[in-house]
Amino acid sequence: MARPPRIKGFDYVGPFRYFLTFCTINRRATFEDAAAVALVLAQFRRTAHEWSFAILAYCFMPDHVHLLVEGTTARADLRRVAKRLKQGSGQAWKFRTGSRLWQEGYYDHVLRPQDDAKSVVRYIVENPVRAALVARVSDYPHLGSDLWTLDELIGSL
């Protein structure tokens, strides 16, 4: 798969919000397993903190993950953190299973200051309902935020 293009002239550095999607290799349904989600989420949290990013919302679907992240410093670099998020979690996964976790590349959307982050959060957390995995957002175990409680996350909808 070719890597999706990035915005020309935008350096992806600073206190911006980004909506990211990482897909598993061959769209394998890896994240049906709570232990797999826990392993990858722990790596994401460690890496995000080390690279000056906050995880505002996340949802692990069976074969992909959605993240809304925000740079917390003027030097927060999305391209570097995205690489490290996938690399660190991929290495932990390979150590555990002996197999690759991620397909090449990722999708991103830079939120502009006028963009409504709540609509992105809504899209992320309602994904399992749209996919008919659960009837209600609150029934899905693999979503959350490192900033808000689940009640606050769902309540913001």
- The pLDDT value given to residue 116: 83
3 state DSSP class of 112:
coil
pTM of the predicted model, to two decimals?
A: 0.91
Q: Which residues lie below 8 Å from residue 107, measured CB to CB, with a gap of 6+?
A: 4, 20, 21
More confidently predicted of 9 and 129? 129
Share of the chain above pLDDT 90, in %: 77
- The pLDDT value given to residue 5: 61
How many angstroms separate the CA atoms of 127 and 131, rounded? 6
3 state DSSP class of 76:
coil
List the beta strands (DSSP E) in the chain: 17-23, 53-61, 64-71, 107-111, 143-144
Rounded to the nearest angstrom, the gap between the alpha carbon of residue 156 and the centroid of all alpha carbons in its chain is 19
> What domains does the chain contain, in order, with CATH numbers?
17-155 (3.30.70.1290)
Q: Report the mean per-residue pLDDT for the chain.
A: 91
Neighbours of 2 (CB within 10 A): 6
Question: 143-144 and 17-23 as β-strands: parallel, antiparallel, unpaired?
Answer: unpaired
- The pLDDT value given to residue 114: 81
Q: Which residues lie below 8 Å from residue 130, measured CB to CB, with a gap of 6+?
A: none
- The pLDDT value given to residue 119: 87
Label residue 69 left, alpha or beta by phi (over 0 means left) and psi (-120 to 50 means alpha): beta
Residue 157 reports pLDDT greater than 70: no
Beta bridge partners of 77: 13
How many angstroms separate the CA atoms of 47 and 140, rounded? 24
